[in-house]
């Protein structure tokens, strides 16, 4: 599962893993911001192996948090410590994902306030946005920026014209809901600092990416994080902070037998 699974508390209670029941689309997995997430089968495979060796011991939440760390630490030493002991949540609500995850169209004020609500500052905001160096977004998320930004058939002027034209070759108008584009045009499969380099060229795919350039503090951080080693260290610190948000422990949760189903 890519670290671009969202800014939300990475693996805190594994509620995003729960499948809908009887066609009900009210779980986090089916919330609009999460529909491009892939890799659930990797978590399933890890859980199956662990249950064979030490049943009812390692939570799906811990598995997800460790897998997120290892996915971006590939071919490097682990980039940050993951503290175990999380319990899995017993509910999964799409409404909570919609409430707690930033919209791809969010402006800086909305992003700042949302992150502050969880004890995260503007450095965390910019560092965790760097997760967009991996993954994709659906054309439906960016269609308005490309084809009808102010309701007059125009394009968002904060996008580089060359990049906007490139995106229009990928996304139709109206958009195909199944079509996706890379969040990081330069290297969507590698964890690097190209996301910030793209932002510097006005090539942030989402409006929420471009919003980081509308505040002097975060614009400065975008420039700083174009140095991969500076970004890597900041990302690691922010992931530790985010991974400690509202963690379930003790009797406040469970250890699921199957990550997709509440016991």
- Distance separating alpha carbons of residues 244 and 148, to the nearest angstrom: 40
Residue 23 burial class via C-beta count within 10 angstroms: exposed 0-12, middle 13-18, buried 19 and up:
exposed
How many residues are there in the chain? 263
180 is in an annotated binding site: no
62 is in an annotated binding site: no
84 is in an annotated binding site: no
- Residues 112, 125 contacting (CB under 8 angstroms): yes
- Lookup: tokens for 45: 């495979």
102 is in an annotated binding site: yes
- Distance separating alpha carbons of residues 135 and 148, to the nearest angstrom: 25
- Distance separating alpha carbons of residues 220 and 161, to the nearest angstrom: 23
Considering only CA atoms, which of 76, 66, 58 is closest in space to residue 11? Answer: 66
11 is in an annotated binding site: yes
- Lookup: tokens for 239: 């992931």
89 is in an annotated binding site: no
28 is in an annotated binding site: yes
132 is in an annotated binding site: yes
- Binding-site residues for heme b, please? 132
What are the binding residues?
Answer: 11, 13, 15, 28, 102, 132-133, 184, 192
Residues making up the binding site for Ca(2+): 11, 13, 15, 28, 133, 184, 192
- Annotation: binding site for substrate: 102
């Amino acid at each position: 599962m890519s670290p671009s699974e969202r800014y939300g508390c990475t693996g805190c209670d594994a509620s995003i893993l729960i499948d809908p029941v009887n066609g009900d689309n009210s779980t986090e997995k089916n919330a609009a911001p999460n529909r491009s997430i892939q890799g659930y089968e990797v978590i399933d495979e890890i859980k199956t192996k662990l249950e064979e060796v030490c049943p009812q011991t390692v939570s799906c939440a811990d598995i997800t948090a460790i897998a997120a760390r290892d996915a971006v630490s590939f071919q490097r030493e682990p980039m940050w410590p993951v503290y175990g002991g999380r319990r899995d949540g017993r509910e999964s609500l799409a409404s909570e994902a919609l409430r707690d995850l930033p919209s791809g169209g969010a402006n800086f004020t909305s992003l700042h306030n949302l992150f502050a609500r969880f004890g995260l500052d503007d450095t965390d905001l910019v560092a965790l946005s760097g997760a967009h160096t991996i993954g994709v977004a659906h054309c439906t998320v960016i269609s308005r920026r490309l084809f009808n930004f102010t309701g007059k058939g125009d394009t968002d002027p904060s996008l580089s014209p060359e990049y906007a034209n490139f995106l229009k070759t990928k996304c139709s108008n109206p958009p195909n809901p199944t079509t996706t584009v890379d969040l990081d045009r330069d290297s969507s499969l590698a964890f690097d600092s190209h996301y910030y380099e793209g932002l510097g060229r006005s090539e942030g795919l989402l409006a929420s990416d471009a919003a980081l350039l509308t505040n002097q503090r975060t614009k400065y951080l975008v420039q700083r994080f174009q140095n991969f080693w500076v970004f890597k260290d900041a990302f690691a610190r922010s992931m530790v902070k985010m991974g400690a948000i509202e963690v379930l422990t003790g009797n406040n949760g469970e250890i699921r037998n199957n990550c997709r189903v509440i016991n």
